[in-house]
Amino acid sequence: MRNIFSTLQQYYYEIIKVLLFIIAIFIVVWISPKESFFRYEFQLGKPWSHNDLIAPFDFPILKTAKQMEEERKQIMNTFAPYFRYHEELGGKDNFDKTYSTQWILHFGNTRLKDSLKFARVSRKIYDYIEKTGIISYNPVLEGKSSTSKINLIRGNEVTKIDLGKLFTVRTAHDYIQKKIRNYTGEDSLFLNNVLTQSLVQNVIYDEKRSKAEMNEILSHVMNVQGLIQKGELIISKGEVVTPEKYQILTSLKAEYEQEMGLSESRKTIISGMVLLITLLFVIEFLFLVLHKKKYYDSLKNILIILLTQILLIVVTHFIFDKFPAWSYTIPFAILPIILVAFLDAGIAIIVHLITVLILGFYAPNSFVFFYTQFAAGLMAVFTVQKLSKRSDLFRTSIMVFLTYMIVYVSMLLLQEGSLDHFSWDMTLYLGSSSILLLLAFPLIFIYEKLFGVLTNLSLLELSNTNNMLLRELSIKAPGTFQHSLQVSNLASDALHAIGGDALLARTGALYHDIGKMENPLYFIENQSSGYNPHDELTYDESARIIIGHVIKGIEMARKARLPEAIIDFIRTHHGTRRVEYFYRLEKKMNPGMEVDQSEFLFYHGPVPFSRETAVVMIADSVEAASRSINEPDEQKINDLVDNIVDSLMKENQLINADISLKEINTVKKVIKKRLLNIHHVRIAYPD
């Protein structure tokens, strides 16, 4: 038991990584549809590449979505909506009140003997219109003619009539004008006002009844258009998949997957799915272990990969299930964009490939889905690069959209031989997916805060010399600030030459000496008046102050919430070396005596553990020493660089950094050339 615990303690970091992959497999299996896959792949307009296909059982031929939609539209166009006649909306009381009011307005107390005659005339017209019915406008009447049918409900009786047999507000007005055309002057105006103000729209659309009837009719629409019997030849090898054959094959696929899903073989289907998904994740795991060990060693990197991958798979399955029409609006290329920003292009391509393979099992028209999304993902990887500018993501979004459109158009030409079925809706979906790639900006920001990792965008922000710490450094310790600028330039040039992260080194070099702000005058580059405060201290006290700038720098960086990757440059730029200058002065002052090295302490380290921190250490040491050269020339600079680098290697300061001797020699050449330019030294040409 003790051995087991000891082993677990020794390899717990690796065990956690394996467990993360197991959890990822479990989540993907859990959310994936538990359905069988049709064993044959086929494409519209392409030859059938399998053997002759015989129907294994009876199955119906399903109608296409377009056929179903057209059938529904036809039913809706011919459907007679329900309108209800409301007798209570008009009535004698309403007419009498309007008549009395208008008589007083037009005639006052005169012509009383004509009142009864006008009342009979107007009442007859009013009763006819109201009993016939005035229909209230509703959008369901849009596009209908006078011969279109509606269902009119009067009490408990329903009658199907022509729409033209009812009055509208306009036709009722025309009817009134026709009936009173024999009247003139005030009489005509009086009758027109009485009738038009008395009329009420009393035929109202019955939405509840109409919708119930429409749903009842639509529910009886059959989604099948024929039957294939068991043993019937469906398609022969080499035969072109026509639209008719394609629909038959699609119907067989749907029936087959439904039959398998309901059968006892469901457990076998799930087992196959588990094995397939596990295999893909094992491939991803082995790729990281064998080919990207540098990234695999960090648990943060594993979390970034799996979290992004699982989130995309979960969202995609939800869209596939609830909103299948929106499948192509999902920004699948956001996965490789995020992985390129934090890791590298190789990992982004492999992880994107595996993710699209997993999702392709359940995507409609899986071949087209895989081809489209994988091509778009590759384009995203190649165009986004390291995401060092905001415009990079906009450029990537445009290029991904162009890739989508090229694939979409080419598939239409390959499968259908024309662009007759080009869909602007699909173009809108693909455009939406490309625009949604801009969500990478907030996601990258969240990841940076969540995992404490850096992207080029963050490094560019941190390397701005107007940042608080760098601005303070330039004011309190201007000499140190200039030294840091020179070191950052030297380190950046050297890492460009050997293929390292030049931007990370440049940023780290700018901050590596911020601890000198605590006591700037104790560092020679900030002494301008000739006064040196070390003259008043013992050599061991001076050594403690010099060493202290590393600890102070770490404290300042943490207080300013700088990322750990930048703080690493502060920790390592002196490694574990001795404060050589004051140690030698102490020895010189006490010749023949053994000097206790512990009195002068060592820098706390650690030593550099990456190419970037190693190059910054070299650049820092060389740049500082080069300032003390009198009358610098090419030979002096060459000797200085060689001696300092050799000294660092002898003291094992570069032993933990992943930098080769060849790369160190390249760094030396770059730094020598840059120092010659800084000191304006003309290269000596041979005789």
Residue 473 shares a structural domain with residue 360: no
Any domain includes 56: yes
Torsion of CA 349, 354, 355, 360, to 10 degrees: 120
Are 192 and 84 contained in the same domain?
A: yes
Least confident of 322-331, 336-345, 448-457: 448-457
Amino acid 576: pLDDT: 81
Q: Specify whether 336 is located in the same domain as 201.
A: no
Asked whether residue 58 is assigned to any structural domain, the reply reads: yes
**610: helix, coil or strand?**
coil
Residues 340 and 482 occupy one common structural domain = no
12 and 139 within one domain: no
Is 450 contained in some domain? no
| Residues 232 and 206 occupy one common structural domain | no
Q: Is pLDDT above 80 for 82?
A: yes
Cα angle 279, 281, 283; round to 5? 70
Mean pLDDT of the chain: 82
From 425, 445, 471, the end of a domain falls on 425
Q: Do 80 and 185 belong to one domain?
A: yes
pLDDT tens readout for residues 649-681: 998 888 988 888 999 999 999 998 888 888 765
290 or 120: whose pLDDT is higher?
290
Residue 621 sits in a domain of what CATH number? 1.10.3210
HSE-CB for 420 with a 13 A CA cutoff? 4
| Global pTM exceeds 0.85 | no
Burial class for 516, CB neighbours closer than 10 Å (0-12, 13-18, 19+)? buried
Q: Are residues 417 and 549 in the same domain?
A: no
Q: What is the Cα–Cα distance from 178 to 173, expressed in whole angstroms?
A: 9
Neighbours of 268 (CB within 10 A): 12
CA atoms of 293 and 286, how far apart (whole Å)? 10
Number of domain units in the chain: 4
Distances (CA, A) of 528 to 422, 524, 531, 627: 75, 8, 8, 14
Q: Is a pLDDT exceeding 60 seen at residue 539?
A: no
pLDDT tens sequence across 293-340: 888 888 889 999 999 999 999 999 888 888 877 888 999 999 999 999
For 23, half-sphere exposure in the C-beta direction (CA atoms, 13 angstrom radius) is: 12
Do 239 and 315 lie in a common domain?
no
User: Within this chain, do residues 190 and 276 fall inside the same structural domain, yes or no?
Assistant: no
CB 634 within 8 A of CB 676: yes
Q: Is 85 helix (H, G, I), strand (E, B) or coil?
A: strand
- Residue 94 in this model has a pLDDT that exceeds 50: yes
Strands 149-154 and 82-85: parallel
Who has greater pLDDT, 528 or 651? Answer: 651
Q: Tell me if 443 is assigned to some domain.
A: no
Alpha-carbon distances, residue 455 vs 28, 494, 501 (angstroms)? 28, 20, 11
pLDDT band with cut points at 50, 70 and 90 for residue 687: very low
Quick one: tokens of 256? 């087959």
Summarised one tens digit per residue, pLDDT across range 358-413 is 988 777 777 788 889 999 999 999 988 766 677 788 888 999 999 999 998 988 88
Whether residue 683 is contained in a domain is answered as: no
* Eight-state DSSP code of residue 137: P
Specify the length of the chain in residues.
687
Could you tell me the residue range of the domain that residue 351 belongs to? 2-27+266-425
| Block residue for tokens 């992004």 | 308
- How many CB atoms lie under 10 A from the CB of residue 280? 17
Q: What is the CA radius of gyration of the chain?
A: 42
On whether residue 251 sits in a domain, the answer given is yes
Residue 263, pLDDT > 60, answer: no
Residues 143 and 51 in one domain: no
Q: Locate tokens 């070396």: which residue?
A: 577
Q: Confidence class of residue 686 from pLDDT cuts 50, 70 and 90?
A: very low
Q: In terms of pLDDT, which residue wins out, 94 or 291?
A: 291
For residue 123, the 8-state DSSP code is H
Residue 161 to residue 148: CA distance in whole angstroms: 8
For residues 502 and 576, state if they share a domain. yes
In a domain, 437, yes or no: no
Q: Is 6 a domain residue? A: yes
